[in-house]
Chain A
Amino acid sequence: EDQVTQSPEALRLQEGESSSLNCSYTVSGLRGLFWYRQDPGKGPEFLFTLYSAGEEKEKERLKATLTKKESFLHITAPKPEDSATYLCAVQARGYNQGGKLIFGQGTELSVKP
């Protein structure tokens, strides 16, 4: 069964304190791994797509990496506005080119000034 597990469930950082979020996955043929940001009461906001092991993507203070079993979201020198829940999702290969997303439970990040 395709599954995504994120850790930690919650992370509290001081402004400027870098850290990493983990996403472990098992999937029957990975088409893509996605990172989203979700603010309270809002829909997921797309951040990155990773397709193959060794791939890296960066956006401002965020950097996502991918291995065959997990992905990391590295946050460098975070600011309070980075506070949100970060969701990891995988899409499996199949006949359907659209492809449903299987989400992890998210990591709730809080950055204090």
Chain B
Amino acid sequence: EPEVTQTPSHQVTQMGQEVILRCVPISNHLYFYWYRQILGQKVEFLVSFYNNEISEKSEIFDDQFSVERPDGSNFTLKIRSTKLEDSAMYFCASNFLNTEAFFGQGTRLTVV
């Protein structure tokens, strides 16, 4: 069964460092997303990506965040200068047109 794959599963980084979270969406999907979940809180939308550009982003997705689809399979989220409050689970998701989104298992980001 096709699935969304995320790497790494856990990343520890120092405050101010750059991190890149990686995702391989399901191969025939057209829309790609990043969500985050701070411990004990709701899953929050960050950004959606379609046709090689951002289609929507939330207020959380400020200038320190960027996304990229560097090739035909990978989808990345870059955080330029991490803050303590960026510590969270980050989920990648993908879907086809007007269908349910499938989520990866997440990357736990810990900023120290």
Contact = CB atoms under 8 A, between A and B. Distances in A.
Interface stretch (B41-49, B65-73, B75-83): B41-49
Given A96-B55, A103-B42, A105-B42, A43 B30 contact: no
A8 to B, nearest CB: 16
A46 B106 contact: no
B44 A43 contact: no
Contacts of A105: 41-42
Q: Is the interface of A mostly helix, strand, loop or mixed?
A: loop
Q: Is the interface of B mostly helix, strand, loop or mixed?
A: strand
Contact of B48 (A42, A45, A89, A98): A98
B97 to A, nearest CB: 5
Contact of B101 (A46, A96, A104): A46
Interface residues of A, number: 24
B9 to A, nearest CB: 9
A71 B52 CA distance: 35
Interface string A10-46: 0000000000000000000001101010000111111
